[in-house]
């Protein structure tokens, strides 16, 4: 078994996987609390809400990827109150500042209010499960990739591969190659190499493959790990 060290990029990947897992575990309770809070507000508005007439004071689209349309409005409930809500696009397009807008509010808690023409949105409960699972799964996948490279460099068998094609990418040069295992099996693989060390088409590249699962292979050097005491 060869002695292996994790490169700087490998430590960055490990740190990112840790942050991803922690972020997912933190988001779960936050999303659940948000779902419960919004659900309680909606139930209370449906049960106790009274009608009022508001004035549209602002229309805008959010800075998120979906550019959700939004409205801000003011209304009287003993004293002036304000509220905002996402708006269905077809309704939002017909609105303009100064328009009158029917709203409902809870008299004992006027901050709980919403336009009457459409339902208050509630964060889906399943996001509190789906988002953490997605984040933690991503973290596990990243760690598995790093562990695979460690094992490949520790125990992998070397073979000479013939370069079939190369393609430049943001991360380096994508190399497609063909190699023969010690059992005589001819396999193909691909990987990203530094531009300065990537051979041209028709050249030879060192390939490391898992003796037990030869389809797990990579061109050498590996991006996240290196041999102890060497630069590569």
Q: What is the pTM of this model?
A: 0.78
- Domain 157-225 CATH (choose: 1.10.287, 3.30.70, 2.70.98, 2.40.50): 2.40.50
Length of the chain: 232
Which of 230, 211, 225 is CA-nearest to residue 155?
Answer: 211
What is the tens place of the pLDDT at every residue in 164-217? 999 999 889 999 999 999 999 999 999 999 888 899 999 999 999 999 999 999
CB 52 within 8 A of CB 107: no
CB 138 within 8 A of CB 190: no
How far is 74 from 84, CA to CA, in rounded Å? 9
For the chain, domain boundaries:
1-155, 157-225
């Amino acid at each position: 078994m060869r002695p292996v060290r994790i490169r700087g990029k490998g430590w960055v990947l490990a740190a990112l996987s840790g942050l991803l897992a922690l972020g997912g575990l933190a988001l779960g309770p936050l999303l659940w609390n948000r779902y419960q809070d919004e659900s309680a507000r909606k139930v209370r508005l449906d049960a106790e809400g009274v009608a009022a007439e508001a004035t549209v004071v602002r229309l805008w689209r959010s800075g998120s990827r979906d550019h959700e349309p939004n409205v801000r409005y003011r209304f009287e409930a003993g004293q002036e109150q304000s509220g905002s809500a996402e708006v269905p696009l077809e309704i939002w397009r017909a609105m303009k500042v100064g328009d009158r807008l029917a709203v409902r509010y809870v008299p004992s808690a006027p901050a709980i209010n919403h336009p009457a023409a459409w339902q208050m949105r509630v964060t889906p409960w399943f996001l509190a499960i789906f988002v953490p699972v997605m984040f933690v799964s991503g973290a596990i996948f990243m760690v598995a990739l790093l562990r695979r490279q460690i094992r490949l460099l520790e125990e992998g068998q070397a073979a000479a591969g013939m370069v079939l094609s190369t393609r430049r990418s943001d991360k380096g040069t994508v190399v497609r190659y063909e190699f023969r295992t010690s059992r005589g099996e001819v396999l193909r693989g691909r990987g990203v190499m530094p531009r300065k060390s990537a051979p041209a088409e028709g050249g030879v590249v060192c390939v490391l493959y898992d003796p037990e699962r030869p389809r797990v292979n990579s061109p050498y050097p590996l991006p996240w790990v290196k041999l102890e005491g060497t630069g590569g």
